[in-house]
Chain A
Amino acid sequence: MVRLFGPNPMNILVCVKRVPATTTRVAILDGKRLNPEGVEFVLNPYDEYAVEEALRRKEAAGTGKVTALSLGTADAQKELRQVLAMGADEAVLLAHAEAGFADAATTARQLEAEIRKRGPFDLLLFGKQAVDRDQHGVGPMVATKLGIPCITEVVNLDIADGKVTAEREVEGGRETVSATLPCAITCQKGLNEPRYANLKGIMAAKKKPLDTVQVDLSGAVVEVLEMAAPAPRPPGRIVGEGAAAVPELLRLLREEAKVL
């Protein structure tokens, strides 16, 4: 399952997701889901930090393996090839046509089952959230199911002699959390600077193993009843120009909007 190999993490798993780009203008289909028509899909931005961290850990250890795992549609092969091009050794796609709509619990169940088959791993890395459902849940759920510690939204990570010390941002400060390997980490911006795949990497990625396994996503407990656009904002207005507009702005904030 998940176990410690040596003093430094060598067998590393990184979980990634194909998501709509952050520039996506959301159009809704059937009142329930994103209309994928014309949407550009990318590797989840937070997962880039997870991939980078995995590669750096392997490089620091001088040995080991980085496996990328994704639950996604068949198209998610593109994102997995990107991760292989960045430097991961092999990739596994848990494929389902409706994977983009799976809730965190369903996703976690699928990932957990595959991790139990493919492990043992010393370190599991995730993005802190996928920028589609924004749930922040898959990393800690998988770790909990596997019975290993998890540190979330990490901006600073130190691993030495099997001991993990991580910093995470909390409201108004930072928290330092300690744990031991095997451990799961969800990655936040600030942890590292993700590399770009170079031409050599892209060529090499074509020959790296990418397994596709069909999965069954039935049994979800979270049902989406409805998806809707947020209520449009009432039209605003320009109060005036320059510092001269300040008294009128404050009058409106106090008397009309009543927020001061």
Chain B
Amino acid sequence: MSTILVVLEVRDGSVRPVSHEVLGAARALADESGASVIALATETCAADAAHLGAAGADRVLVGAAERHSPDGAAATVARVAKENGASCVLLAATARGRDQQGRIAALLDTGFASDCVAIDAKGPVFTRPVFAGKALIKVQIHAGVAVASLRANHFAPAGRTAEAVIESCSSESGKSEVVEISAKSAGRPDVAEAARVISGGRGLGGPENWHLLEKVADAVPGMALGASRAVVDAGWRPHGEQVGQTGKTVSPELYFAVGISGAIQHLAGMSSSKVIVAINRDKEAPIFQHATYGVVGDALEILPALADELQKLGLQ
């Protein structure tokens, strides 16, 4: 029986939610092809058999590394992939996953598909955006093993009743090591992973008006803040919030573009969002051609009303 290996992402001793989407994708692939799913955490973490079994894993391997070593972790993944004859290695397309996929592919002497939005079990064939989402390609990897990272919000977590077998495994050491992680935007999800995003542009007038966006985000559970490059370049917002071709690519269920004109480089980063709401003073702004719903007017007047109405809904 072939094996699909999922690389779990661990932070502060627990498995990050985005890994559950990758496990869900692996489970779906395994069910279609009769494979089994091994989930691997290269760092020590609280792995719980019931939880990860329900999320799709048949076996869970927990490594012994106290700290993440980028090259060490890739070596551990490659070793486990070889030991178990994995046909596919899947990761989340996060900062960690993007860092690891090429290393793992190099160690396994194969290629990889980055930031996939769909997988067809026959092949398997991976669908992924290129040119920042201006086109999609379908690729097949002609080697014994394929490596792929999966974009957040595109694969459903599995929901089943099963328990996984949990085993420990050794971790390879490397020549580099993560010595510190500092969380910045405590409480709010990252713009690349959130299911709902509100982004502000130059039309907000200045950083002093960002509390208006934050109020809206506070009224919607799991809503992240994003920004256009113009406001990042102006120093109003940190680069980690930039959405677009040279920022983060996002595809949430709901994306608000407030005071953003809709330049091609911004659209490249968010045009695959399910529902786009544009708020802009200029009814000719290009963003309206891509929006599901548009409201024409002054953002500084519309945002407080939006926050008020949302608060009344008491969304959980």
Given the interface contacts A34-B131, A189-B246, A241-B296, does A173 sit within 8 Å of B183 by beta carbon? yes
Residues of A within 8 A of B138 (CB): 224-227
For residue B164, CB closer than 8 A to chain A, the reply is no
Residues of A within 8 A of B130 (CB): 132-134, 227
Task: Please classify the interface of chain A as helix (H, G, I), strand (E, B), loop, or mixed, using the class held by over half of its residues.
Answer: mixed
* 20 CB < 8 A contacts A-B: A20-B131, A105-B105, A134-B132, A140-B101, A141-B102, A168-B95, A170-B95, A172-B183, A177-B179, A221-B110, A221-B142, A223-B141, A227-B135, A228-B135, A230-B272, A236-B293, A239-B294, A239-B295, A246-B306, A253-B254
For residue A52, CB closer than 8 A to chain B, the reply is no
Residues of A within 8 A of B214 (CB): none
Partner of B106, one of A141, A149, A222, A252: A141
B295 close to A240 (CB less than 8 A): yes
For residue A233, CB closer than 8 A to chain B, the reply is yes
Q: For chain B residues 99-133, which have a beta carbon within 8 Å of chain A?
A: 99-103, 105-107, 110-115, 125, 129-133
Number of interface residues of B (CB under 8 A): 93
A170 close to B296 (CB less than 8 A): no
**How distant is the Cα of A225 from the Cα of B137 in the complex, in angstroms?**
7
Residues of B within 8 A of A20 (CB): 131
Residues of B within 8 A of A222 (CB): 111-113, 139-142
**How distant is the Cα of A169 from the Cα of B182 in the complex, in angstroms?**
10
A252 close to B293 (CB less than 8 A): yes
A230 close to B133 (CB less than 8 A): yes
Excluding A176-B180, A238-B288, 7 further A-B contacts by CB distance (< 8 Å) are: A22-B264, A25-B134, A26-B131, A134-B131, A137-B102, A225-B140, A243-B306
Given the interface contacts A153-B95, A222-B139, A238-B295, does A243 sit within 8 Å of B102 by beta carbon? no
CB distance from A247 to the nearest CB of B (A): 6
For residue A73, CB closer than 8 A to chain B, the reply is no
B271 close to A230 (CB less than 8 A): yes
B131 close to A24 (CB less than 8 A): yes
B111 close to A249 (CB less than 8 A): no
B182 close to A144 (CB less than 8 A): no
B288 close to A224 (CB less than 8 A): no
CB distance from B315 to the nearest CB of A (A): 6
Q: For chain B residues 295-315, which have a beta carbon within 8 Å of chain A?
A: 295-298, 301-302, 304-306, 309-310, 313, 315
Q: State which size class the interface on A falls in.
A: 35 or more
1/0 contact string of A151-185 vs chain B (CB within 8 Å): 11101000000000100111111111111100100
B105 close to A243 (CB less than 8 A): no
B136 close to A228 (CB less than 8 A): yes
For residue B85, CB closer than 8 A to chain A, the reply is no
Residues of B within 8 A of A250 (CB): 306, 309-310, 313
1/0 contact string of A125-145 vs chain B (CB within 8 Å): 000000111111111110111
Name the CB-closest residue of A to B75. A144
Residues of A within 8 A of B292 (CB): 233-234, 236, 257
Name the CB-closest residue of A to B192. A171
